[in-house]
Amino acid sequence: MKMVIAIVQDHDSQRLADRLTKNDFRNTKLASTGGFLRAGNTTFLCGVDDARVDELLRLLDDTCGNREQTVAPVTPMGGNADSYIPYPVEVEVGGATVFVLPIEQFERF
């Protein structure tokens, strides 16, 4: 058994939740915040049998695609203003950050 932790952008969250349910992957959703853009993320926790890990990873890859987005950087608060960029920039957002961890024991009550 594995614990798959997937951190996805909020934009992809509902579509991923629907696809996880449709494909019979039990999951828990947690609200989270990204550090780089300070944007909303959703963290999914999925307990998965070893035989289905690759299937889940393919589903994540298909659902959470990368895309370009224009963002206006936040004004630095007490940091080094020398590296602050005062105009909007194009950045790549989306995708998923995924951790696959071995699980020693799993109980459902």
Q: What is the pLDDT of residues 26-84, one digit of tens each?
A: 999 998 887 655 667 899 999 999 999 999 999 999 998 776 666 666 555 555 555 55
- pLDDT for res 106: 86
- pLDDT for res 82: 58
For residues 66 and 54, is the Cβ–Cβ distance under 8 A? no
What pTM was estimated for this model as a whole?
A: 0.75
Q: Starting at the edge strand that comes first in sequence, how are the strands of the sheet with 96-102 ordered?
A: 28-33, 40-48, 2-9, 96-102
Q: What is the mean pLDDT of residues 79-99?
A: 70
Question: Which positions ≥6 away from 13 have C-beta within 8 Å?
Answer: 29, 42
User: Which H/E stretch holds residue 46?
Assistant: strand 40-48
What is d(CA 91, CA 89) in angstroms, rounded to the nearest whole number?
6
A 10 A CB-CB count for 16 gives 23
- pLDDT for res 39: 66
